[in-house]
Amino acid sequence: MIIDGQADFRTLLMHHVTTHWPDAIITAYDPIEAGHLPEEFSGAGNDLVLLGSEQGDRDGVDVLRQFLKRTSFPPVVYFGSEEDQETAHKLRPSEHFIREHISHDSLVVGLSDVLLASQRMASTDTLFLGDLRTGIHPLIKGYRFMRRLGSTEYSGVYLAERESTHLRVVLKVLRQMPGEDENDGAFDRFLQEYETIAEMDHPNIVRIYDLGVSDTHAHIAMEYLAGGDLRTKIERGIPVRAAVQYLRQIAGALAAVHEKGVLHRDLKPGNIMLRKDGSIALIDFGLAKTAKLESEITDKGEIFGTPYYMSPEQGHGNGVDERSDIYSLGVIFFEMLTGKKPFKADTAMGIIYKHAQAPVPLLPPRLAQYQALINMMLAKSADNRLQSAAEIDEWL
């Protein structure tokens, strides 16, 4: 159902939808000519409600709020102006577009994502789902989508199967929204991530299979790591011997990354995955930068990464090098051994302060043999730390 007071806009949306889903059954409603829909309107019988901001003497955001209050209402996709974008986004519609900046591909991907999400909540036999019932993504051919693993405002991560080989992969899909500076940066980081990992050939770095790019989206097909992430392992408790083995593997991967002149910059347990055989694989190089570019970024005072795992120099926006990643790995090793983070505070800035000023905490007596290594990895000054990831194995 399309609800908007501007006839040309209703026609435009109908064209986009029927071009991709020719069997779609569409109801167009003009709230200016036909009157506003009553409070008890339930949207029943529709797979999606496409709500435009042109609502006559009513504010489009108010109508959106009315629809979203109803628990059984179908997913609502809102098409607002740039002025009401922030307010509408806070209401959390299923999808949100600026009506003046709609491209066909981005709209089809957005509607498809909403339909895939709603399909998990309730089964349906409607023709409108079309090829989505088979798991085929409208713009990424050759893969059968199985389920969504996560999403952000601009991107989604899916478990999929390559149709030709039946290989399970993880697909990272990012929509490029022209004219939005924040997304432009995300798109650049997305492509950079592929280029960074594709150059690596190491058993403890995630494998990349495919890259696809269009004007409105990009996707990376990468190895599916069935063992979950290190964060979950830490929560359950890791035996000391396993923690040491994990440290060796992560350090080896870091050494390979650094040898290519790349810094990870966002090393944390959530970015370290395990395969079925228990081996480690580094993922998520979205914040990685080549060392020669690092000074250009930090000179502007920008801070990247996660405060719990930031080196003192990274937390204060100073120049970083390979030794910053070694510090992050030291935090992770401490957490693997003890189940606790070495530095905690009520605020991000409090954590950053402790990284720079608080003494390195002591391990329990039963783990004392690893204290010297922890001290060398968590030294406040980079000059006092281990100088390369390869040295970690030597100390072990």
Per-residue pLDDT, 154: 60
On average, the pLDDT of the chain sits at 82
Report residue 113's pLDDT band, with 50, 70 and 90 as the boundaries. Answer: confident
Q: How far apart are the first and last CA of the chain?
A: 64
Count of helix runs (H) and strand runs (E) in the chain? 14, 16
pLDDT at 295: 32
Distance CA 253, CA 378 (A): 19
Out of 3.40.1260.10, 3.40.50.2300, 3.40.50.300, 1.10.10.10, which CATH number does the structure's domain 2-104+111-130 have?
A: 3.40.50.2300
Binning pLDDT at 50, 70 and 90, where does residue 290 land? very low
The first and second tokens of residue 65, run together, are: 């709020």
User: Is residue 298 over pLDDT 50?
Assistant: no
pLDDT tens by residue, 366-394: 999 999 999 999 999 999 999 999 999 99
Cα gap 258→166, rounded to integer Å = 34
Res 138: pLDDT: 59
Q: How far apart are CA 327 and CA 312, in angstroms?
A: 9
Class of domain 230-395: mainly alpha
Instruction: Kindly report, residue by residue over 331-347, the tens digit of the pLDDT.
Output: 999 999 999 999 988 88
The catalytic residue positions are: 266
What phi and psi, each to the nearest 5 degrees, are found at residue 237?
A: 100, 130
Token pair for residue 344?
């905690």
pLDDT band for position 131 (50/70/90)? Answer: very low
Q: Is 154 helix (H, G, I), strand (E, B) or coil?
A: coil
Strands 272-274 and 280-282: antiparallel
Mean pLDDT of 260-272: 86
User: Does the domain at residues 140-223 carry the CATH identifier 3.30.200.20?
Assistant: yes
- Phi then psi for residue 360, to 5 deg, are -65, 125
More confident residue, 146 or 291: 146
H runs (alpha helix) in the chain: 7-20, 31-34, 60-68, 85-90, 104-121, 181-198, 230-236, 240-259, 291-298, 312-315, 322-338, 348-357, 371-377, 390-395
Q: Are 217 and 105 in contact (CB under 8 A)?
A: yes
> Is the torsion defined by CA of 308, 311, 316, 321 positive or negative?
negative
State the Cα–Cα distance between residues 177 and 195, nearest whole angstrom: 21
* DSSP classification of residue 277: T
Neighbouring C-beta atoms of residue 327, cutoff 10 Å? 26
List beta partners, residue 55: 58
- What proportion of the chain, given as a percentage, has pLDDT over 70? 83
pLDDT band for position 116 (50/70/90)? Answer: confident
What value does the mean pLDDT take over residues 127-154? Answer: 60
The pLDDT of residue 134 is above 80: no
Q: Where are the domains of the chain?
A: 2-104+111-130, 140-223, 230-395
- Select the more confidently predicted residue: 338 or 211: 338
